[in-house]
Chain A
Amino acid sequence: MDTHATVPDSAEASLHAPTSEIEHAHPTWSTYWKVALILTIITVGEVWAYYIPSFVASRGFVPTLLILSAVKFGIVVMFYMHLKYDHRLFRVLFTGPLLIAALTLLALMFLFGHLFIKIT
């Protein structure tokens, strides 16, 4: 018999309770507004940096944009997608493929000569 098709007894209830009951409480409305404000400020900063020729020509331009983009990515995933508060299985399901994909991207960049290690 498929036990998952039944409503569990009291002992099983906590195990089979809806995800939201098991996990930590989600952020409040004020947290969501603050996150939106931070995302907007970072985006404005990115676009502003794009219009500063001396900064664009510098070696810090690309790493700065990549870091800012990664921060935005992380904030949305942690607070809006609630990955910070949800079950760790969801973290594994998301970060696992993302890590594999990122490593593949790096490998391809090396393979096609966009990234290289200087050996002196």
Chain B
Amino acid sequence: MATAAHTHVVHTSAPTHHHYTTLGLDSRKVAIWAFIGSECMLFVSLISTYLIYKGRSVIGPFPHESWTDPSTGQVFKPILNIPVTSASTFVLLMSSLFMVLALAAVQNKELPKRTTGERILGNSKLWLFMTALAGATFLGFQAYEFTSFVHEGLSIRRNLFGSTFFTLTGFHGAHVTAGVLWLCTMLAIDYRRNLTSKDSLLVDICALYWHFVDVVWIAIFTLVYLIK
């Protein structure tokens, strides 16, 4: 009897797709944290490379100083545009706020929403959309920055600064792109079948990845853009 009951439980539990480890933690969440840990190492290796070669470019343009080409006499201005990057940093920071609001909205989906404020805060579709929009805006800023750098004479092959800068920020941009696609997928799922509190882990995993992309940018913004 016990076996029969047990077997019955197994069959009914299958569609819920719970993957708990012996610690009672969902294995998908353990996996995303392990992935984030490995990503830390990847980005620190890229940041290390940037810092090692910082100030060792033989020819300009340079990040913070102007440079005159001795052969042509052309003057290259400092290449980094701090106001534009500050704006994109602010957008990415706000995207993290939108992401936690999206997660909170999914986690509290079943709670009654009495006021307009509660209905807005509890609208997961709105916050997922806002996060994806902020991510796409950040990518727009990055596309503008890369294009203007190339027009001003800095390419990935120009000097050590160009090589390390484009590699580092390009990798980060690729991660943001993946995050935006992931967010769009979550938004599509929410429109298709309404995410409930049972789906909060799916959004939580997506949110962890998105916040990681944000903290990487916090480090890049200081080390690459602000420290001269």
Contact = CB atoms under 8 A, between A and B. Distances in A.
Interface in A24-49: 26, 29, 32-33, 35-36, 39-40, 43, 46-47, 49
A102 B94 CA distance: 27
B130 interface: no
B10 A6 contact: yes
Nearest to A35: B97
Interface residues of A, number: 55
B81 interface: no
Contact of A69 (B25, B33, B207, B219): B219
A35 to B, nearest CB: 8
Contact of A104 (B48, B104, B219): B48
A108 B48 contact: yes
A29 B222 contact: no
6 contacts: A29-B104, A46-B221, A89-B33, A93-B33, A101-B40, A104-B44
Given A4-B21, A43-B93, 17 more contacts: A4-B20, A14-B24, A20-B200, A20-B201, A29-B121, A36-B93, A39-B96, A46-B222, A50-B226, A56-B228, A65-B227, A76-B218, A80-B97, A80-B211, A89-B33, A94-B36, A108-B48
Interface of A: 4-7, 14-20, 22, 26, 29, 32-33, 35-36, 39-40, 43, 46-47, 49-50, 56, 61-62, 65-66, 68-69, 72-73, 76-77, 80-81, 87, 89-90, 93-94, 96-98, 100-102, 104-105, 108-109, 112, 114
